[in-house]
Structure 1
Amino acid sequence: MEILMMIAGTVVEQLQKPTLAFLIAGMMLAALGARFEIPQSIYKFIVILLLLKVGMSAGISIRNADTLSFLVPASLAILVGIAIVFLGSRSLARWNGVSRVDGLATAGLFGAVSASTLAAGMAVLDDSNIYYEGFIGALYPFMDVAALVTAIMLAKLSAARQAAVTVYPGRDGAASIGSTGAPTPIGASMGGSGLIREILVDTLRSPAISALITGLALGVLSDPETVYKSFYEPLFRGLLSILMLIMGMEAWTRLAELRKVAHAYVLYGLVAPILHGLLGFGAGLAAHHLTGFSEGGVILLALMAASSSDISGPPTIRGALPEANSSAYVGTSTGLGTPVAILSIPLFIGLADLVF
């Protein structure tokens, strides 16, 4: 009971911090029907600036970091992203009333990472004076790309298996498959290196990943400390507070979309972030025992696992799986997954206090 009271006290304390307070304020504004609105172009600009800042910070730290200390959590981030998608394929994607492609699309977003949630977590840890490795932001692409590639590959393979497939020789002697209509080349339906390469390219070209990788490259290959300290770092908290306000309003609005899909998505959106976060927390502890990964690093790896992609993931999924229901995967991710993940930051801080 004492442990639960301590965690509850940590949760209440963290909810009063500016980052989480702005998220809740945004949800309240939307619930009250306020006509408060921030243009989409400004929202995108804020996201790009935040990701450039996170990327440069990570790049500067990687330049001075021990290789093993970085590669171990990076490898674990990949495994966590893949594991989350496979968990979704065994749970949500098999739920009655949920199509497999919709379930896998949703699991893909939940395995990928929310840049804004990661930025919020960093701000909360900074406010609490909890140390974390500067290269944490560099783990984002590893988990993000691994989850999206896995989800899209599983969805493509599942769709091919479910089709009534007949294999027969084509006119030119090449093997083809098809059910009705024109035959489809086996390689096109069943996936392969070409499909994986296409998914990787689309993901890496997304605005969020592009900005983050650009910041990483600048931090590793150049000397951006002057502009970083004079421009990006001072703006970070103010821009993040506006982003949290926007996300709170967006989350409340997206909740209405969940009425169009099965109630399984509501349960998944509420429970999955916590379970995924615990999986990430366990991976972080493994990295801690192997390389001395910090308490803050463990918390942020848990938060990345708990988060669901709200920037890079949706356009990637929409482009690769156009048949998936966007109301299902975007509504679940943005409407429930994102606020649950952000509000779980105090929970993981409380768990870390017990362990460290």
Structure 2
Amino acid sequence: MSEIIYQNLFSPVVLFFVLGIVAALFKSDLKFPNALSEALSIYLLIAIGIKGGIELSHYSFETVINPIMGTLFLGIAIPILTLLIMRFMKMDLKNSIGVAATYGSISVVTYGATISFLEKNSISYEGFMNALVVLLESPAILVSLILLKILENRNAEPIISSQNFGIVPASARLINKEVLKESILGKSVLLLLGSLIIGLILGENALATVKPLFIDLYSSILILFLLNMGLVAGQRLPEVKKYGLKLLLFGMLAPVLFGSLGVFVGHFVGLSLGGVTLMGVLAGSASYIAAPAALKSSVPEANPSIYLGLSLGVTFPFNLILGIPIYFAIANWIQ
């Protein structure tokens, strides 16, 4: 276990991430132009999506159905568990929903770093795991927003429906078009899903075109992205500290809890050691792209410094430094 942590700590992606945190904490003038930061995000999403589509083209539906069902289970269970924990900690409903949506969704960058970790240690994994990244991105956001509407309207008076002149509870209006747009057609999901479909349609025929940029250069460009993420995480870290020790502990303990659940689900649906590790990472990571984008428009009362500060300032570095080797060790033990 200690050797795995050492190898992960002294990998280029982690060290450049730490460099970004140090730069932010010491008020360095190092910064990435917004356009470059956006371009790196787009590159990463396309690279993971198209690689997943090409790999998925090698598998039959019967092969992937069980992992898909396991992924959907995680997408429903994790936001519910997070909401219960937040309410137990006496956090208000809107901020609890914000954290639930964030931790139910996933971090594409943490997933990408795990792929680098597995490849560095010559550990294979199922190619369709990249497809599960897309699948787990949105359900938790939708589940969290539906839970919010149900809890807000459970004591609401019935209203008259203009469509059927019947009595319809207010809770029936669970989500609107904007929520669906942000959760399903937001940038991250659209690029991941679109690239996945393109890779699935073209299969091996796409390799000659996409391999030089999106496969061969992936690890090097990930270093640039993580340097930028280190800068952002270092800036967000002080925002979380003001909300108390309990929240900081949640940001470090929740990934282990949910990641362990993901490892057991991955083992249950029959994944390999590498696949089980990736399933643990998917469950243990927290979103800082798709979920915050949806929350900004649908739950504006939720404080971004809580859910974004937790996911980016605490859970993201925890997973990058300790979480990945922990999930791998649990997966190795259970396998």
TM-score, normalized by the shorter chain, greater than 0.5: yes
Residues 242-321 of structure 1: pairs in structure 2 closer than 5 A: 242-288=224-270, 293-321=271-299
Helix, strand or coil: the match of 1:224? helix
1:285–1:197 CA distance, 2 compared to 1 (3 A): farther
Partner of 2:324: 345
Q: What displacement does 1:173 show? A: 10
Partner of 2:219: 237
- Mapped to 1, the partners of 2:236 and 2:61 lie a distance apart of 41
1:172–1:213 CA distance, 2 compared to 1 (3 A): closer
Deviations 1:13-41 (A, max 9, x none): 22111122222221122222211101122
Structure 1 residue corresponding to 2:58, chosen from 47, 55, 64: 64
Deviations 1:34-68 (A, max 9, x none): 11101122111111111111111111111111322
Q: What displacement does 1:261 show? A: 3.4
Structure 2 gaps, min length 5: none
Helix, strand or coil: the match of 1:296? helix
Partner of 1:49: 43
Deviations 1:227-251 (A, max 9, x none): 1212211221111001111111211
Partner of 2:83: 89
Partner of 1:181: none
Does residue 123 of the first structure (1) align with residue 103 of the second (2)?
A: no
Partner of 1:180: none
Does residue 355 of the first structure (1) align with residue 334 of the second (2)?
A: yes
Identical pairs, percent = 25
Q: What displacement does 1:10 show? A: 1.6
Counterpart of 2:187, as a letter, is P
Partner of 1:157: 150
- Mapped to 2, the partners of 1:350 and 1:56 lie a distance apart of 29
Which of these two proteins has the greater Rg computed from alpha carbons? Answer: 1
**Conserved in 1, the CA contact under 8 Å of 2:179 and 2:297?**
no
Residues 150-189 of structure 1: pairs in structure 2 closer than 5 A: 150-161=143-154, 165-167=156-158, 186-187=169-170, 189=171
Does residue 28 of the first structure (1) align with residue 22 of the second (2)?
A: yes
Structure 1 gaps, min length 5: 1-6, 177-184
- Mapped to 1, the partners of 2:275 and 2:161 lie a distance apart of 55
**Conserved in 1, the CA contact under 8 Å of 2:56 and 2:200?**
yes
- Mapped to 1, the partners of 2:294 and 2:94 lie a distance apart of 14
**Conserved in 2, the CA contact under 8 Å of 1:149 and 1:196?**
no
Q: What displacement does 1:166 show? A: 3.8
**Conserved in 1, the CA contact under 8 Å of 2:31 and 2:231?**
no
Counterpart of 1:244, as a letter, is L
Q: What displacement does 1:269 show? A: 1.0
- Mapped to 2, the partners of 1:230 and 1:172 lie a distance apart of 55
1:246–1:170 CA distance, 2 compared to 1 (3 A): closer
1:196–1:234 CA distance, 2 compared to 1 (3 A): same
- Mapped to 2, the partners of 1:172 and 1:287 lie a distance apart of 44
Deviations 1:154-207 (A, max 9, x none): 112212236xx444769999578xxxxxxxx844x5434xx2765333212111
**Conserved in 2, the CA contact under 8 Å of 1:167 and 1:175?**
no
Structure 1 residue corresponding to 2:190, chosen from 210, 235, 252: 210
Partner of 2:67: 73
Q: What displacement does 1:259 show? A: 4.1
Partner of 2:10: 16
Counterpart of 1:340, as a letter, is F
Q: What displacement does 1:120 show? A: 1.0
When normalised by structure 2's length, the TM-score is 0.92
- Mapped to 2, the partners of 1:244 and 1:15 lie a distance apart of 14
When normalised by structure 1's length, the TM-score is 0.87
Aligned residues: 332
RMSD: 2.2
Does residue 224 of the first structure (1) align with residue 206 of the second (2)?
A: yes
**Conserved in 2, the CA contact under 8 Å of 1:92 and 1:264?**
no
**Conserved in 1, the CA contact under 8 Å of 2:83 and 2:99?**
no
**Conserved in 1, the CA contact under 8 Å of 2:236 and 2:312?**
yes
Counterpart of 2:179, as a letter, is I
